[in-house]
Amino acid sequence: MENKKILEVRDLVVSFDTFQGSVQAVRGVSWYLNRKETIAIVGESGCGKTVTIQTVVGLNPKKNGSVKGGEVLFEGKNLLDLTPKQMRKVQGNQLSIIFQDPFTYLNPTMTVGEQIMEPYLQHHAVSREEARQKAIEILKLISLPSPEENMKRYPHQLSGGMRQRIMIAMALICSPRIVFADEPTTALDVTIQAQIIELMNSLKEKIDTSIVLITHDMGVVANMADRIYVMYAGQIVEHGDSDTVFHRPKHPYTWGLLNSVPRLDKKVADDLYSIPGTPPDLIEPPKGCAFAARCPYAMNICRTSQPPRIEFEEKEHYASCWLNHPECIRRRGPVRREGASDGK
């Protein structure tokens, strides 16, 4: 894997205006992606991961959403400075997205072949026959059986796994530099999930693309990601390579996410661990650590001051938690539950 940055998000701030006030959905988020790399942005629903990605690819609703600050640097250009027309040349061509629910996303009135060909026809000066051949080629690449016949079908005539493969074909037909996969396996059963993960891992090499994976499923992350950004309440709270985050997490929220992964050695009757409480109201985010109300380690300082980012000995491993501060006398740091699964 080449360590060459192709995308860098710097200090991104996004908010949405509502009748109740301004929801601060993304609060100073920074991350980067190298060529041929897969990164995962993980966190619960509402943590801001999807809003971040939609902002990067220019899909945020303009009506009430606005970017208040930051930069999205793609091959040296700040995508936030592009006009809608310039951005359309990048969308679906150099940056593409796989949405989480193929049944909702696919158009029920068009054959899947038409839908796969559409982005290719839009971004290339080719005939319909050339686009059809390209679609067949990409369907063969993703191992969809009988591509010519399946191209003539409508979404409802295909299984869930096949529909997700169609979504992947649509995202890949223009050979994008980066694919954003937003919960790509959520709507699928576990055996199909495994096939889709394997497919995406193999395609990364075959078409020279990089992947940004957005998910709350640590099992999917374990099987795909090189590095992990853990996001909570619109901020990155921990970052590191996959091995470090899975085996030496330093933030109680990461610890909670890892402990929520189902384990084969537990009895069916045992309750699956869940992080107590709910995320904070982002109209008025907490003054201190946003996780304080749910954190079993919370101290007085957590409720009054934002925890600083603290770096650890492993390369680029950092976490924002007061427990890791050198002056914290309760400094035991979060550990994983005995025998917790890494999801693989």
DSSP state of 228: E
Residue whose CB is less far from ligand SF4, 59 or 299:
299
Binding ligand SF4 by CB under 6 A: which of 307, 317, 318, 333? 307
Q: In what order do the strands lie in the sheet with 22-34?
A: 22-34, 5-17, 65-74, 77-78
Binding ligand SF4 by CB under 6 A: which of 26, 131, 295, 310? 295
User: Would you call 224 helix, strand, or coil by DSSP?
Assistant: helix
Site string for ligand SF4, 319-338 (x = CB under 6 A): --xxx---------------
Binding ligand SF4 by CB under 6 A: which of 224, 233, 261, 292? 292
Q: Which stretch binds ligand SF4 (CB under 6 A): 48-56, 94-102, 201-209, 292-300?
A: 292-300
CA–CA separation, 149 and 207 (whole Å)? 24
Q: Name residues whose C-beta falls within 8 Å of residue 90's C-beta, 6 or more positions apart in sequence.
A: 58, 74, 79, 82
Total residues contacting ligand SF4 by CB under 6 A comes to 14
Say whether residue 298 binds ligand SF4 (CB under 6 A).
yes
Binding ligand SF4 by CB under 6 A: which of 302, 317, 318, 341? 302
Phi, psi of 79 (to 5 degrees): -60, -25
15: Cα separation from own chain's centroid: 19
Say whether residue 318 binds ligand SF4 (CB under 6 A).
no
Name the minimum Å distance from CB 223 to ligand SF4.
27
Return the residue matching tokens 């075959």: 206
CA–CA separation, 254 and 177 (whole Å)? 29
Residue whose CB is less far from ligand SF4, 202 or 300:
300
Residue whose CB is less far from ligand SF4, 219 or 307:
307
CA–CA separation, 124 and 241 (whole Å)? 37
Residue whose CB is less far from ligand SF4, 126 or 298:
298
Say whether residue 289 binds ligand SF4 (CB under 6 A).
yes
CA–CA separation, 11 and 53 (whole Å)? 14
Say whether residue 31 binds ligand SF4 (CB under 6 A).
no
Say whether residue 257 binds ligand SF4 (CB under 6 A).
no
Site for ligand SF4 in 143-162 (CB under 6 A): none
Q: Are 25 and 60 in contact (CB under 8 A)?
A: no
The full DSSP string for 269-327 is: TSPPP---S-PPPSSS--SS-TTGGG-TT--HHHHHSPPPEEE-SSTT-EEE-GGGSTT
Binding ligand SF4 by CB under 6 A: which of 291, 310, 317, 340? 291
Site for ligand SF4 in 90-149 (CB under 6 A): none
The residue among 25, 1, 3, 6 whose CA lies nearest residue 15 is: 25
Residue whose CB is less far from ligand SF4, 251 or 317:
251
Name the minimum Å distance from CB 44 to ligand SF4.
14
Residue whose CB is less far from ligand SF4, 268 or 329:
329
Say whether residue 230 binds ligand SF4 (CB under 6 A).
no
CA–CA separation, 121 and 117 (whole Å)? 6
Binding ligand SF4 by CB under 6 A: which of 102, 252, 279, 280? 252
Name the minimum Å distance from CB 288 to ligand SF4.
7
Which two tokens mark 130? 């050339």
The residue ranges that bind ligand SF4 (CB under 6 A) are 251-252, 289, 291-292, 295, 297-299, 302, 307, 321-323
